[in-house]
Amino acid sequence: MCPVTCRCKMREGALLSSLVLFHLLSFSQAARQGQDMKCGACRALVDEMEWAISQVDPKKMIQTGSFRINPDGSQSIREVPLARSEGNLLELMEGVCERMEDYGEVTDPSTDRKSYVRIKPRSGEAMDLSEATLDSRVTASLKFACETIVEHHEDEIIEFFAHETDNVKDKLCSKRTDLCDHALKIPHDEL
């Protein structure tokens, strides 16, 4: 074999290896960004649900159960707080993904991981948005990710909000649904 042919084949091999590595890195980065988006949507969904639940008067109760009369003359009715009733939670979930347009994207410079923060205040408080990127494509993707989560995990979401009150973000987004592989590294006040 001629030395020129060997060098050409070596260059082709190096070029092919470089291309494969580039595509693998690109795929890995895209997968991580997709993971960040799903995780961010889940964590934002939890924040929005918790806030909406907190807006319902805790003294309001609703009767649930069967209104039929049992053979012994009793009824299987019980009162539960309206805020955490299945009907109220379903109603809240119908509009929760619309509020994803109130979020912006923040990139951690040390890890290049993306997180999502609320950019529109619920009341008149001032917000520091210096690190947030406002992009309609990002909010559209966040909304789509939220809708997908609600569609695939509706029962788990209702179950968690009906019964759980502590650390719902990590329990639902990491342990129950595996949407956040890195949630334990995110501070609890961040999305």
And the tokens for 54? 């907190």
Lowest mean pLDDT among 3-17, 52-66, 102-116, 144-158: 3-17
> Between vectors from CA 145 to CA 139 and to CA 148, what angle results, nearest 5°?
145
- pLDDT grade for 3, boundaries at 50, 70 and 90: low
- pLDDT grade for 124, boundaries at 50, 70 and 90: confident
Give residue 21's pLDDT: 38
Q: First and final CA of the chain: distance in angstroms?
A: 60
DSSP code, position 133: B
Give residue 26's pLDDT: 38
Mean pLDDT, rounded, of the chain: 79
What is d(CA 177, CA 170) in angstroms, rounded to the nearest whole number? 10
Domain ranges of the chain: 34-174
Question: pTM higher than 0.75 for the full model?
Answer: no
